[in-house]
Amino acid sequence: MTDLLVISMVLLGYALVSGRLSGTSVTAPMVFVSAGLLLGPAGAGLISGGVEEEGIRLLAEVTLGLVLFTDAVRIDFRTLRREYVLPLRLLAVGMPVGIGVGTVIGLLVLDPDQWWAASLLAAVLIPTDAALGAAVVSDRRLPVRVRQTLNVESGLNDGIALPVVMLLLALTATEEGDVGSASWWASFAARQIGLGVALGMAAGLAGGLLIEKLGPRGGITTTYERLATLAVAVIAFTGAELSGGNGFIAAFVAGLAFGAVARERCPQVHEFAEREGELLAMATFTLFGAVIIGPRLGDIGWAEIGYACLSLVVMRPLAVLVAMARSRVALPTVLFFGWFGPRGLASILFALLVVEESGIAEADTILLVTATTVTLSVYAHGLTAAPLARRLGAYTSRLTLAAAERMPMAEHHVRHRDR
């Protein structure tokens, strides 16, 4: 109860100054991680640390499931069909290249003999976090194309990275001879993905069609319409988990299916669910600072710091440069995409899953490196989000103005040539 009281007081304190901090370099994740570090067992001890890592994992699971569902609901397929090229490049090319680069970094910095563990660590750190990049995604000084690209990427890459993490986890565990055979784990991964997709699709379509049909006719009140939508996400997640599928994949697919058949309900649903997701995310970041990274600060060495820095300034930017090759996107925008790949909630959850479900020898190292990377990302991306977004916005505005000034001259030449 004491932990809940302290976290609630931190939330209230931040809420009272949130308006003044909006648009500055001080972001909500920075505040809540700092609060966890200062108030946790490694600091003032006001947060007792009675919440075990398993409890944080459960909180992170709920939070990520809700975030995946609401991010998927938010995706507008009509807009995505027009502007799908850049997100597709980042997901289809950038993610595999990033995992490859991260694997090489792991072999060079951590252990040259652990190929599967290095690949697993890279996959854990490949997804980006929309919560940490909120200052960028919501900054209307940036072009819609830039904001949507980052938004779609962060919404999709969690669900794409998850089966990769699970497959590499299976291969790493099999390599050490601790569990099952490779064929058993491959079958297990296939069941997780297949059932996750099937049950998520069924829950999203059924729930979306029912709510879409009954909502406008007065069969569902506004409050319960929104709660019913959250119930669709929970049904998809828990149904997949209980049947042997993957709940996160199911939640994401359910959001896609729901958004496809109940598009008119999506804005209200997303606004409602986003608030609950923000609350859960900030509670998770507070406990992350207090329970995960705080007690491990003394264990962080130069190898962990080196990998974390290289992950942020080499792995992601290099992968984006490769993904954006010959895309005709201006270099400042490409560099912006490369830097704004913050690591957060999904990486925390994936690392905790590795610790609790694998039993591999490198699990603690993966958690420590992931926690170090996420902590650095919270502060580095938080401090640079507003100023770099402002600069890129000014740069694109100048390009747009210059193009507009050239347009009348071009039209004059065309008319003169036609005559």
Q: How many CA atoms lie within 13 A of 228 on its CB side?
A: 21
* Maximum Cα–Cα distance across the chain: 82
Is 0.85 topped by the overall pTM?
Answer: no
Burial of 324 (0-12, 13-18, 19+ CB in 10 A): buried
CB 46 within 8 A of CB 6: yes
Report which residue type is found at 244: G
Q: What is the number of structural domains in the chain?
A: 1
Q: What is the pLDDT along the chain (419 residues), one digit of tens a residue?
A: 677 888 889 989 998 988 888 767 788 889 999 999 999 888 888 887 666 667 777 887 888 788 778 777 777 666 666 667 888 899 999 999 999 999 999 998 887 778 888 999 999 999 988 666 666 666 677 777 787 788 778 777 877 787 788 778 777 766 554 545 556 656 766 777 788 889 999 999 999 888 888 766 667 777 787 788 889 989 999 999 898 888 888 888 898 888 888 777 666 666 666 677 778 888 889 989 988 998 899 999 999 999 999 999 999 999 999 999 988 888 988 999 999 888 888 899 889 888 876 667 788 899 999 999 999 999 998 888 878 888 887 877 777 666 666 655 444 454 444 44
Find the CATH number of the domain harbouring 55. Answer: 1.20.1530.20
Could you identify the residue written with the tokens 């998850």? 162
Domain of 119? 2-418
pLDDT tens digits, one per residue of 12-28: 999 898 888 876 778 88
Please tell me the distance from the alpha carbon of residue 358 to that of residue 314, in angstroms, as a whole number: 28
292-301 pLDDT per residue, tens: 998 899 999 9
Alpha carbon 202 to chain centroid distance? Answer: 24
The full DSSP string for 42-93 is TTT-SS---S-HHHHHHHHHHHHHHHHHHHHHH--HHHHHHS-HHHHIIIII
With beta carbons less than 8 A apart as the criterion, state whether 269 and 229 touch.
yes
Report the distance separating Cα 255 and Cα 269, nearest Å: 11
